[in-house]
């Protein structure tokens, strides 16, 4: 397998009907049909509108129930877990065990966020991600390559009031004094999907050509820069406010969405989500040969300006 062009591959995707999962599925279907001859969706509800829409594009639907995935991954080479935090740990573990039993070679766990090897990460979701990936990598290290993909923040989510970007009221808030110039990696779901497909092709041909931890960023912008971009696109005046942070805020344990939002914003302030000088963009998309990264300027113009 090393160094050769991969033959036809089968990919299975969990969470394919979600916002990220649908983009990942479409990337495999649309961009590289000559490489991925089967794109299989594992779903509990094959009659859902999202599942039917992907089936119409060429995906195969496979109904699964509960945490037992026995036989569901037969013939699968690549497994992508795009499920959100709602999936329980037992299901994630059963999924990767079945991948190993079925002979799968590549596994992309449900990461697709900030690189939680850096900055404050005291949240149960991050702890569970680390536990699951560690267990997955120990199952069959000579067979299954586990690739974590860090993307910073979704372009489609970052402009949210709960993350401090209150476009409606014209206020963007950064946590901490002197922090609004810290850059944040921002990547669209379409770019994430294209990257996962490219990484699958590269790693199937030569597992050593792809690091175990991959960082991609469609764009890198500070809160000050985002305010200027959105102001220009929408015609609204956006004021940037730097809000004081209580001592010990980094040490607080998190359990829910509110805690996650606080933790993400603290990471913005620490510069822990800045991928501008340390990313693998050229590995997956050298010189933007395969696609053009979607910038925040384009998103602001095409989406925010029309809201």
In terms of pLDDT, which residue wins out, 121 or 262? 262
DSSP-derived letter for residue 65 is -
Is residue 3 over pLDDT 60?
A: no
- Residues for the chain: how many in total? 307
Q: Predicted confidence band at 1 (pLDDT cuts at 50, 70, 90)?
A: very low
Using CA atoms, how far apart are residues 264 and 222, in angstroms rounded to an integer? 14
Q: For the segment 227-251, what is each residue's pLDDT rounded down to a tens digit?
A: 999 999 999 999 999 999 877 655 6
In terms of pLDDT, which residue wins out, 67 or 201? 201
Q: How many CA atoms does the CB half-sphere of 115 hold within 13 Å? A: 24
Q: Are 202 and 4 in contact (CB under 8 A)?
A: no
Q: Predicted confidence band at 69 (pLDDT cuts at 50, 70, 90)?
A: low
At 268 the pLDDT is 93
DSSP string, 201-233: HHHHH-GGGS-SEEE--SEEEEHHHHHHHHHHH
Q: Please, where are the H alpha helices in 102-215?
A: 124-139, 155-158, 189-205
Over residues 40-45, the mean pLDDT reads 90
Q: Which two tokens stand for residue 222?
A: 């500070």
At 251 the pLDDT is 60
Over residues 192-211, the mean pLDDT reads 97
């Amino acid at each position: 397998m090393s160094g050769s062009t991969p033959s036809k591959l089968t990919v299975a995707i969990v969470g394919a009907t979600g916002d990220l999962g649908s983009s990942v599925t479409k990337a495999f279907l649309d961009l590289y049909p000559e490489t991925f001859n089967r794109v299989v969706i594992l779903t509990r509800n094959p009659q859902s509108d999202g599942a039917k829409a992907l089936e119409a594009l060429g995906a195969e639907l496979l109904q699964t129930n509960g945490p037992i995935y026995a036989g569901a991954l037969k013939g699968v080479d690549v497994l992508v877990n795009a499920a959100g935090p709602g999936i329980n740990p037992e299901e994630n573990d059963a999924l990767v065990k079945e991948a190993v039993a079925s002979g799968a070679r590549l596994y992309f766990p449900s990461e697709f966020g900030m690189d939680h090897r850096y900055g404050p990460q005291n949240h149960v979701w991050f702890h569970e991600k680390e536990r699951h990936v560690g267990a997955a990598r120990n199952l069959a290290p000579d067979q299954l390559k586990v690739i974590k993909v860090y993307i910073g923040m979704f372009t489609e989510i970052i402009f949210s009031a709960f993350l401090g970007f209150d476009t409606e009221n014209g206020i963007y808030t950064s946590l901490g004094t002197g922090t609004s110039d810290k850059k944040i990696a921002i990547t669209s779901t379409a770019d994430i999907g294209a990257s996962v497909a490219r990484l699958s092709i590269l790693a199937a041909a030569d597992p050593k050509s792809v690091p175990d931890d991959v960082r991609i960023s469609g764009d890198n912008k500070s809160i000050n820069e985002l305010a200027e971009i959105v102001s220009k696109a929408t015609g609204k005046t956006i004021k940037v406010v730097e809000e004081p942070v209580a001592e010990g805020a980094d040490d607080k344990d998190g359990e829910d969405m509110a805690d996650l939002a606080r933790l993400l914003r603290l990471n913005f302030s620490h510069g822990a989500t800045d991928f501008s000088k340390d990313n693998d963009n050229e590995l997956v998309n050298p010189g933007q040969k395969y696609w053009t990264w979607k910038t925040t300027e384009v998103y602001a113009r095409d989406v925010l300006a029309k809201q």
